[in-house]
Copies of this chain bind each other. A is one copy, B any other.
Amino acid sequence: MKTYNDTTYAILGILTTDCTSGYDIKKLIDQSLNHFWKISYGQIYPTLKLLVEEELAEVAPSSEGGRKERNEYSLTEKGVSTLKAWLEEPVQQLPVEKNEILLKLFFGNHQSNQASIRLIEDYRTKLETRYQTYTAIEKSIQEHESASKDAKYWLYTLDYGKRTTKAAINWCEATIKNITEGEDIYE
């Protein structure tokens, strides 16, 4: 079976929901997958074209209700089976996520302790904002979407975000403390 990149599968997956146009796909990703996936129109439209070429989806122009012309995509049999095959496959190797703060900290002996601490403080603030966003989304889902079949899975992904973000926040605190005290707990 031919393989595609993850972005293609993401779109394939979204086309199983009631998001059927490029514009809808963008909106869904920005709203529901934004904490672990993002995408631009520059990728969406060419990918939709590809799906049709590969006979994984079909297009039908629609302009019901006087709305602007709008291309609605729907999965073919082949599209559905391709998606399901991908879902079953275990994930590849864990990717190495590039981390700017760690890169800066790695060269920490070229700056003062104060400067390193400032960097980490700032990073912690950003992480905390993110954490609160996750919590807010979580609450919103529990209140408004808990009927949806997808809600459960959506909450799992948020839980992942919360746990890893929290761990990063804890690291910030521990590291700041460690640098401040000027002694190495690791020794």
Contacts and interface: CB of A to CB of B under 8 A. Distances in A.
A103 to B, nearest CB: 6
B170 A123 contact: no
A interface majority secondary structure: helix
A81 to B, nearest CB: 11
A63 to B, nearest CB: 29
A171 B98 CA distance: 22
Nearest to A9: B103
A87 B106 contact: no
A163 interface: yes
A187 B150 CA distance: 14
Contacts of A167: 163-164, 166-167
Interface residues of A, number: 73
Nearest to A175: B156
A184 to B, nearest CB: 6
A100 B104 CA distance: 27
A177 to B, nearest CB: 12
A84 interface: yes
B184 A152 contact: yes
Contacts of A122: 90-91
Contacts of A110: 13, 16, 83-84, 87
A32 B102 CA distance: 12
A91 B37 contact: no
Contacts of A187: 142, 146
B9 A156 contact: no
